[in-house]
Chain A
């Protein structure tokens, strides 16, 4: 079952913060995040494997609440280079494959 992302789109000014959410109706084994710039392939950002785990990647971090079956991606002090579409991918235990959300388009303006 496809995870649900929110919001669908967000527009920011440089330096502002954003949160993108990803939730599933099924128990999750892991959540992974990708960013795709227009006309390019998705690029892996990070994976979260354990409940309550948080990870960081420069000014981009994420949390995974296994009990609530949801993950959030935090972008702080956003830069122009953060613009793109963010996808979460979720895996149900032993499924062997992941399912991607429908994406959140982030636009950072000067």
Chain B
């Protein structure tokens, strides 16, 4: 059973607000990821991390930033939310070694910016 959590599950917020989406995992996984997914569409990698103090930008350009100060925690921050940021944000984690591409996904945060 995967143990990866995201909060909040749903967020409706006004333009210009700063928001932080939380993601935590209790599996001790070194690798963590943030994906953006519109309904019925593909997963776009926006950030990933190999471990503490390691973060990389993904394939899809994003105005968000991430930090990895603790292994289990990988928050995503938007300094100034805009309607174009409306989407679902999925956090995932994976182990290293042969099972590194078996990713466990959190339940997602559905963000609406008005």
Contacts and interface: CB of A to CB of B under 8 A. Distances in A.
Contacts of B98: 49
Q: How large is the interface on A (under 10, 10 to 19, 20 to 34, 35 or more residues)?
A: 20 to 34
B19 interface: no
Nearest to A48: B101
Q: How large is the interface on B (under 10, 10 to 19, 20 to 34, 35 or more residues)?
A: 20 to 34
Given A49-B98, A97-B58, A43 B45 contact: no
* Overall SS of chain A's interface: strand
A44 B58 contact: no
Interface of B: 33, 35, 40-45, 48, 50, 56, 58-59, 90, 98-99, 101-108
Interface of A: 2, 30, 32, 34, 40-44, 47, 49, 85, 87, 89, 91, 96-103, 105
